[in-house]
Amino acid sequence: MKINILAFGIARDILGESVLEFEWNGEPRVGKLKEELQRKFPKFTDLASLKIAVNEAYAKDELEIHEGDEVVIIPPVSGG
């Protein structure tokens, strides 16, 4: 299954691009996608938090991902 992943901020820096076409044969769940991203891009494990949004909504680890879904990596945010 091919998934297009959008990334912003430090997540974009880690991936080296803002859109990643990710070929994935694993279990199509958000939690498994996070694990695979951390395996392929170890710097993700250094982040304080890593959220995933699917189709414009924050997604829990159990959510199933389908081909064509919009998947976005939400890096930690700080403000002031």
Has residue 6 got a pLDDT over 80? yes
- Find the distance separating the first CA and the last CA of the chain, reported in whole Å: 40
The C-alpha atoms of residue 40 and residue 57 are separated, in whole angstroms, by 24
Identify the DSSP state of 13: H
Question: Other CB atoms closer than 10 Å to residue 17's CB: what's the count?
Answer: 10
Structural domain boundaries in the chain = 2-74
The per-residue pLDDT for range 30-66, each reduced to its tens digit, is 999 999 999 999 999 888 788 999 999 999 999 999 9
Alpha carbon 5 to its chain centroid, in Å, reads 6
Q: What fold, for 2-74? A: Ubiquitin-like (UB roll) (3.10.20)
